[in-house]
Structure formats: C-alpha cells, structure tokens
Amino acid sequence: MVKEKGLTMSIARLALTVPALAVMLLLAVAMQGGTLSEAWAQSAEQPPASSEGPVGGAVPGNSLGTTSDADQWRAIRGGLQGSVSIPDTKSGVLIQSGGEGWRSIRNGPLMTYGSWVLLGTIILLALFYLIRGRIRLEKGPSGILIERFGGLERSVHWMTAVSFILLALTGINILWGRHVLLPVVGPEVFSALTLGGKYAHNFLAFPFMLGVLLMFVLWVGQNIPNRHDLVWFAKGGGMFSKHSHPPARKFNGGQKIIFWAVVLGGLSLSLSGISLMFPFEFALWQKTFAFLNIFGTDLPDSVSPIMEMQFSSLWHSILAIVMFAVILAHIYIGTLGMEGAFDAMGSGYVDENWAREHHNVWVEELQQKPDRSSGNSSRAQPAE
Ligand code: HEM
C-alpha cells in the first residue's frame, strides 16, 4: 500500500516536471532565436569591416559570399556557356536568362499590342465602311466582261489565301487561345483544337510558301512601281472621293503594297517559321545581325542557338500580326468594300466599266494589244 502511494507520488512529480521542462526549453529556444535574428539583422545592415574579429556584435567573416562567387553567378545568370561532355553543347548554359525576356515580351507587349493591331484594323475598316460606304461602279455595269485573271492565277491566289487564313487562325490560337478560347470551349475541346491546329499550322506552311513563290513569278512584272503610282497615292487611291479615279495599270499603288507585303513578308515569315519548325538548325539571326551591322547598327554579333529560337518566335508572331492586319484590309476591299472587285478572283472576269474606273491604263494597254492580257489571251465578252 505504502509502495503504491510512493509510485503515485513519483508519477505526479514527473507529470509536473515534464511540462515545466518543456516551457523552459521553449523559452530558451525563443531567446536563442531572438539573439540569432538580431545578429542576422545586424550583419545584413552592417557587414563587418574586417574578418579579424567581431565588430559591434556582428558575425565575423564575409557571410554574404566572396566577390568571386558573386561574379561567377552573375556570369552564369547572364548565360555563361560552360562545357559539357554530351554532344548537345547548348546544355552547357546553366541559366538561359533570355528565356525570361522572351516570355515576358511574348505574354506582355506582343499579346497586348498585337490584339490592338488586329482589333484596331477591324474597327478602322468598319468605320471606313460606315463613313465611305461601298465603292460603287460610278457608271454602272456595261455588260461587257474583260478577263482579268486566268485559271492559274486564281488557283495560286486561292491556294495562298486559304492556307494563309488558316495559318493566321491557328497561329492566333497558339498565341491567344489559352486566354480567349479555353475559357469558352473547355479544356478537352481546346486541347483537341490546338493539337489539330498545330499540325495544320505546320503543314499549311508548305502550300502558303509555294503560293507566295508562284505569285511572285506570275505578278512581279506588273508590280514594279511606276509614275502612275505616285499620282494614285497623291489622290489617296480615290478612296475618299466618290468621283476620283486615279490612274492605274494592271495593279494600282495600293495593290503593289499588298503584293510586296505578301512576297517580302511571306518570305520572312517562311524563313522564321522554318527555323521554328527545325529548331537549332539555322543561325538566321546571327547572320541577319552581322549583315545589318555593316550599315552601322550595333546588334549582337554572337547569338546562341536558344536565342536564335527566341528571336524567330517573336519576329514570326510580330510579322504575322502585321501581315494579317494588311490582309484584313485586302479582304475588305476585295469583298464588301468595292463593288465588282470579287469577280476578278471569282470568275476571273470584270465588267469593262469597273476596269476603266479602277485600272484605266491597263484597259488602254489591252486595247492596244488585243491579243494579250495579264499574260493570258485577252477575251472581252458580253455578260450573260
Ligand atoms: C477571303 C480572302 C481574300 C479575298 C476575298 C481576296 C480577293 C482578292 C481579289 C478580288 C483580288 C483581285 C483584285 C483586283 O482585281 O485588282 C486579289 C488579289 C490579290 N490577293 Fe487576295 N483575297 C483574299 C485573300 C488573300 C490572301 C490571304 C492573300 C495573301 C496572303 C492575298 C493576296 C493577294 C495578292 C498578292 C493579290 C494581287 C495584288 C492585289 O490585288 O492586291 N489575298 N485578292
């Protein structure tokens, strides 16, 4: 009984001692923590002047790292190329800082200004339509048709047009789809559309490139600037006045801009697209910068393979957005904006009055050489 009482007392004492020890331990840790954090703050605010001993209670030594460490990490952070034992030498770059720049430009100004360019173009075209209205045939149809584009020209045009529009739509999805389409259609539909769109984007590049090449071959001769273009531009292409019909041969000044935008823009779009399709195979930018530096620019003369891809990606998107804006204006004038224009690429024939109002010099030239028009046999025929 006495033994049992002694045991109970010992358990009770233990029960009191354990919490007391725990509280003391906590207090000790808290005090220690306070001391450490004060020392940390002190060392951060006033690093010791020398490592010979404590100064003002601060921890001695260069606790923030040696200068050479900082220099080394700064160089690595800046994209220093080290050496690796595998064939992929670009893995020798530990931190590719340019990636952050690329990401922030792509997801920042590129997307913001890009959407403004496209929406702005649509708004401007809508305003132009509201103010100016449809450009109508001033004298009405004559009933006589003139062949404007032959079968080959129209096939090439539509192959290029269809592939470009699909490339533009799938490209827009690659850039903005995650923010615009995904919330509307949901992840499953979006991922199927985007995967299919990505394949379509890769394969449609080929008919587009072929189309641009053929357009160049077919139409370059008629798109060399001439004196009529200056008058055409001076008169604003006759766009702003109902009775003004500035002179033009087969293609007017505005159409020549479209032509060269498609040819030169298409070439640059194709080259940057090919470099994205076959990553790390080409050094386009290094060569471009070296070429531009001949004219006094101060562009980097060494561009790493990853930076090549980043430049290609940004340039490809910027150029595609600008080209799409130009093509939106072209589509507007070829459909809604001008009466009789679509027939030129639809049936290939236009009304003679349309041709005289918009391409008077071309009609005169056709009449002087009745057997040749647009590289095809000239055929004027009455409308049915
Ligand atoms: C629905 C879309 C399109 C329509 C309705 C359209 C309509 C037309 C029409 C009617 C013409 C002949 C103009 C004339 O007789 O003077 C033309 C010419 C031309 N189209 Fe298109 N087009 C479209 C898309 C495209 C696309 C996507 C491209 C290139 C990426 C393109 C490039 C050209 C070029 C270079 C010309 C010759 C120069 C000119 O007339 O501006 N077209 N188009």
Which tens digits make up the pLDDT trace of 79-132? 888 899 999 988 998 998 889 999 999 999 999 999 999 999 999 999 999 999
CATH for 144-382 (3.40.50.880, 1.20.950.20, 3.30.450.20, 3.90.1010.10): 1.20.950.20
- Give yes or no for residue 32 CB within 6 A of ligand 1: no
Position 373 scores a pLDDT of 46
Instruction: Give the residue whose CA is nearest to atom 36 of ligand 1.
Output: 259
Res 249 pLDDT > 80: yes
Mutate which of 135, 154, 157 to test ligand 1's pocket (most atoms within 8 Å of Cβ)? 157
Q: What pLDDT, on a 0 to 100 scale, did the predictor assign at position 243?
A: 81
Phi, psi of 301 (to 5 degrees): -90, -5
Exposure string over 320-341, b if 16+ CB within 10 A, otherwise e:
bbbbbbebbbbebbbeebbbbb
Which atom of ligand 1 is nearest to 255's Cα?
41
CA distance 193 to 210: 26
Q: What pLDDT does residue 382 have?
A: 61
Cβ(47)–Cβ(58) below 8 Å: yes
- Give the distance (Å) from ligand 1 centre to CA of residue 76: 50
Q: How confident is the model at residue 377 (pLDDT cuts 50, 70, 90)?
A: very low
Atom of ligand 1 lying closest to residue 323 CA: 30
Q: State whether the beta carbon of 330 lies less than 6 angstroms from ligand 1.
A: yes
Residue 36 has pLDDT above 60, yes or no: no
Query: Measured at the alpha carbon of residue 299, what is the angle toward residues 294 and 303, in degrees to the nearest 5?
Result: 110
The answer to whether the beta carbons of residues 145 and 352 sit under 8 Å apart is yes
* Tens-digit pLDDT profile for residues 119-171: 999 999 999 999 999 999 999 999 999 999 999 999 999 999 999 999 999 99
Question: Which residue has the CA at smallest separation from atom 1 of ligand 1?
Answer: 331
**Which ligand 1 atom is nearest residue 258's CA?**
41
Mean pLDDT confidence for 5-33: 45
Q: Is 215 in the pocket of ligand 1 (CB under 6 A)?
A: yes
- For residue 166, what are its two tokens? 């699909």
Compute, in angstroms, the gap from residue 283 CA to the centroid of ligand 1: 33
Q: pLDDT for 167-212, tens place per residue?
A: 999 999 999 999 999 999 999 999 999 999 999 999 999 999 999 9
- Residue 248 backbone class (left: φ over 0; alpha: ψ -120 to 50; beta: rest): beta
When pLDDT is cut at 50, 70 and 90, the band that residue 55 belongs to is low
Could you tell me the strand order of the sheet in which 349-351 lies? 349-351, 144-147, 380-382
Q: How far is CA 369 from the centre of its chain?
A: 46
**Highest-confidence segment of 19-33, 287-301, 361-375:** 287-301
Q: How far is the CA of 350 from the centre of ligand 1 (A)?
A: 15
Q: With a 6 A CB cut-off, is 269 part of the ligand 1 pocket?
A: no
Q: Which two tokens stand for residue 114?
A: 């890009």
Instruction: In whole angstroms, give the CA distance from residue 218 to residue 151.
Output: 12
The predicted-structure confidence for 276-335, as pLDDT tens digits, reads as follows 999 999 999 999 999 999 999 999 988 989 999 999 999 999 999 999 999 999 999 999
Measured in Å, residue 257 CA sits from the centre of ligand 1 at 12
What's the predicted TM-score (pTM) here?
A: 0.80
Q: Which of 323, 339, 345, 363 to mutate to test the pocket of ligand 1 (most atoms within 8 A of CB)?
A: 345
Q: Compute the distance from residue 109 Cα to the ligand 1 centre, in Å.
A: 30
What pLDDT, on the 0 to 100 scale, is given for residue 26? 40
pLDDT at 40: 34
Is residue 335 within 6 Å of ligand 1 at its C-beta?
Answer: yes
List Cα–Cα distances, 17 to 26, 31, 221, in angstroms.
Answer: 14, 21, 102
Mean pLDDT calculated for residue range 345-366: 96
Statement: residue 384 has pLDDT above 60: no
Ligand 1 centre to CA of 341 (Å) is 10
pLDDT (0 to 100) of residue 301: 87
Distance 338 CA to ligand 1 centre (A): 13
pLDDT in the model for residue 288: 95
Phi, psi of 76, rounded to the nearest 5 degrees: -65, -40
Q: What is the pLDDT of residue 238?
A: 87
Percentage with pLDDT > 70 across the chain: 78
Domain ranges (residues) in the chain: 144-382
- pLDDT of 62: 59
Q: What spacing in Å lies between the alpha carbon of 197 and ligand 1's midpoint?
A: 24
Query: Do β-strands 349-351 and 380-382 pair in parallel, antiparallel, or remain unpaired?
Result: unpaired
- Count of alpha carbons within 13 Å of 199, Cβ hemisphere only? 5
